[in-house]
Amino acid sequence: MRELQHVNKYFYKYRYKLLAGILITIVARIFLLFTPELIGNSVDVIDNYRKGITTDIAVVKSELLINILYIIGAAIIGGIFTFAMRQTIIYVSREIEYDLKNEVYQQYQRLSLDFYKSNRTGDLMSRISEDVGKVREYTGPALMYSINTVTLFIIAIFLMFRSAPTLTLYTIIPLPILSYFIYILSKAIHKRSTIVQQWLAKLSTFTQETFSGISVIKSYGIEGSTNSDFDVLAAESRQKNIDLAKIQALFYPLMIFLIGLSNIIVIYIGGKQYIDGEIESLGVIAKFIIYVNLLTWPVATVGWVTSVVQQAEASQKRINEFLKQEPSIKNQNTEPSLIEGAIEFNEVSFTYPDTNIQALNQVSFKINQRETMAIIGKTGSGKSTILDLIGRLYDVTSGEIRIDDTPIKALNLVSLREHIGYVPQEAFLFSDSIKNNIMFGKEDATEEEVIAAAKNADVHKNIKGFSKGYDTVLGERGITLSGGQKQRISIARAIIKAPQILLFDDCLSAVDTETEEKILNNLRKITSGKTTIIVSHRISSVKSADKIVVLDDGQIIQKGNHNTLIDVEGYYKELYLKQLTENQ
């Protein structure tokens, strides 16, 4: 239970509601326990009439009627309290589930990129859904059934002992055995249902991939083999479900068998004791049968609750492992920082921690505030890595980055990122309206600002062409944009922010040279006061930059501007001549 102590703070948060729930549960159970006593009384009334102890049938009838009314009254009040019991305890467990999900999600947001590299998305999803769900069962149903069982057990055993102590002992003997069997069964059910879940996850990953790659599947004509792969997975999944169903099918017969066994014991031992005169009335046997049936479920839940607590403990352990992790990129300055935009790399080297690939090797350059620098180089030469380091998505392995002459680590991380507008290589748009996708860069942007950003990114006309304009929804349930349209919306999102530093990572690769020229002209106007870095494979995108660096295998091999670089032999001049002839 050590790991589950984490949720105690939530129990404390909802303590009043929880306390009310516990009291309501106790009251509900007390009313439930009126029934066996009243049934026992009714049987005694009839028995006494048969034995001739009561002779007046009118008295018998009125006593029976009173008992019936009491039974109905107790059932109604017990029912109302049982309803309130679920409304309080289960409600609290839903609140705790909500809080815990938020806590896990907030932690996910805090953690750095390397965390996402070393954990699979599926695992992260299951922490927040399945594991939190298991913990909820502990905070709600398990708690409710435990209080239920304890209350019912204490009161019922007290009442039973009072009227027939020996019979009580015989009656409760099978109950711990029942509880043990249910525990074993619950564990086995859990094990098999986990396997079923895993197969379900495999099936959904397979189908999801098939659907996203449906055009490749169709164009290669491999529907048949995809179908047979799915068949194999589905057959295995069916078998796992059958295994689970088999063990689940044992649950009720086992319960019925053990209830039956207890009933037989009550009738056999109780009957014998009645004949021997050890029990004074038949009503005792009648109410004991009801007690046995009332106690069986709660006792069975002891086994179930034990298994739920064990699962919740394991789930909370996994959640705690995540919650304990500290982001590798730490904000060391809580005061806001003023960012003006001068960037300096001093012998920066960087090795990706997960792959050990050295992406940058002793890179040094300086960009003054308001300057534009372009980075050009072969694929995999480390261009994107430079941009990631400026946004502090990773910290350098050696060397130093300074922004406005301050070490990047000494700046407030939030201020730094607020002042950066980043357009990634692969535009990522959310399944939301175009307007909201652009406003992601500035949540309080006006309609005019959105339109101005779209115009500068040369995508306004395209958006206007859609019937719903800026309200057009993108993604699975919306329209699919072309690669170039996505890139331009992504640019609009960065420029609406009007940041001090703009980072464009090869984000014009999917647009034609004419549109590229238009966007670059617009950008030149709006980025005139900003520091800009443009990564590209095209000379046309970089030629007007104040500075150009050429990267190769993580090292700077050339530095200068367009005019100086085309004058010297090297990668830049070669690329320039090649692209010149391609465009002719």
Ligand X SMILES: Nc1ncnc2c1ncn2[C@@H]1O[C@H](COP(=O)(O)OP(=O)(O)OP(=O)(O)O)[C@@H](O)[C@H]1O
Q: Which residues bind ligand X (CB under 6 A)?
A: 352, 354-355, 357, 359, 377, 379-385, 425
User: Among 347, 251, 331, 230, which Cα is nearest to 296's?
Assistant: 251
User: Which residue, 112 or 522, is less far from ligand X as judged by CB?
Assistant: 112
User: Which residue, 146 or 381, is less far from ligand X as judged by CB?
Assistant: 381
Beta-bridge mates of residue 488: none
Between the CA of residue 84 and those of 21, 81, 88, 477, what are the distances in Å?
8, 5, 6, 41
Can you read off the two tokens belonging to residue 268? Answer: 């056999």
Beta-bridge mates of residue 372: 532
User: Which residue, 161 or 352, is less far from ligand X as judged by CB?
Assistant: 352
Can you read off the two tokens belonging to residue 278? Answer: 């050890």
Beta-bridge mates of residue 344: 366, 402
User: Which residue, 423 or 434, is less far from ligand X as judged by CB?
Assistant: 423
Smallest separation, CB 384 to ligand X (Å): 3
User: Which residue, 139 or 536, is less far from ligand X as judged by CB?
Assistant: 536
Smallest separation, CB 352 to ligand X (Å): 3
User: Which residue, 380 or 469, is less far from ligand X as judged by CB?
Assistant: 380
Full 3-state SS string of 283-304: HHHHHHHHHHHHHHHHHHHHHH
Smallest separation, CB 353 to ligand X (Å): 8
507 phi, psi to nearest 5 deg? -95, 10
Smallest separation, CB 423 to ligand X (Å): 13
User: Which residue, 357 or 414, is less far from ligand X as judged by CB?
Assistant: 357
Smallest separation, CB 573 to ligand X (Å): 20
Smallest separation, CB 242 to ligand X (Å): 42
Smallest separation, CB 349 to ligand X (Å): 12
User: Which residue, 380 or 478, is less far from ligand X as judged by CB?
Assistant: 380
User: Which residue, 172 or 386, is less far from ligand X as judged by CB?
Assistant: 386
Smallest separation, CB 354 to ligand X (Å): 6
What is the DSSP-derived secondary structure letter of residue 278?
Answer: S
Smallest separation, CB 380 to ligand X (Å): 4
User: Among 427, 408, 412, which Cα is nearest to 487's?
Assistant: 427
For residues 499 and 421, the answer to whether their CB atoms sit within 8 Å is yes
User: Which residue, 297 or 352, is less far from ligand X as judged by CB?
Assistant: 352
C-alpha span between 44 and 39 (Å, rounded): 9
User: Which residue, 156 or 375, is less far from ligand X as judged by CB?
Assistant: 375
Smallest separation, CB 377 to ligand X (Å): 6
C-alpha span between 385 and 551 (Å, rounded): 11
Smallest separation, CB 425 to ligand X (Å): 6
User: Among 269, 271, 207, which Cα is nearest to 233's?
Assistant: 207
User: Among 342, 244, 315, 277, which Cα is nearest to 100's?
Assistant: 315
Q: What angle is formed at CA 126 by the lines to CA 122 and CA 128, rounded to 5 degrees?
A: 125
User: Which residue, 377 or 441, is less far from ligand X as judged by CB?
Assistant: 377
Q: Which residues of 503-529 are buried (b: 16+ CB within 10 A; e: fewer)?
A: bbbbbbbbbeeebbeebbebbeebbee
Q: What angle is formed at CA 569 by the lines to CA 563 and CA 574, rounded to 5 degrees?
A: 85
Pairing mode of beta strands 343-351, 358-367: antiparallel
370 phi, psi to nearest 5 deg? 75, 5
Smallest separation, CB 355 to ligand X (Å): 4
Smallest separation, CB 509 to ligand X (Å): 9
Pairing mode of beta strands 372-377, 547-552: parallel
Residue 230 belongs to what H/E stretch? Answer: helix 223-249
User: Which residue, 379 or 563, is less far from ligand X as judged by CB?
Assistant: 379
C-alpha span between 426 and 535 (Å, rounded): 13
User: Which residue, 179 or 487, is less far from ligand X as judged by CB?
Assistant: 487
User: Among 456, 465, 458, which Cα is nearest to 527's?
Assistant: 456
Between the CA of residue 510 and those of 231, 283, 385, 462, what are the distances in Å?
39, 87, 21, 15
Smallest separation, CB 521 to ligand X (Å): 24
C-alpha span between 538 and 526 (Å, rounded): 21
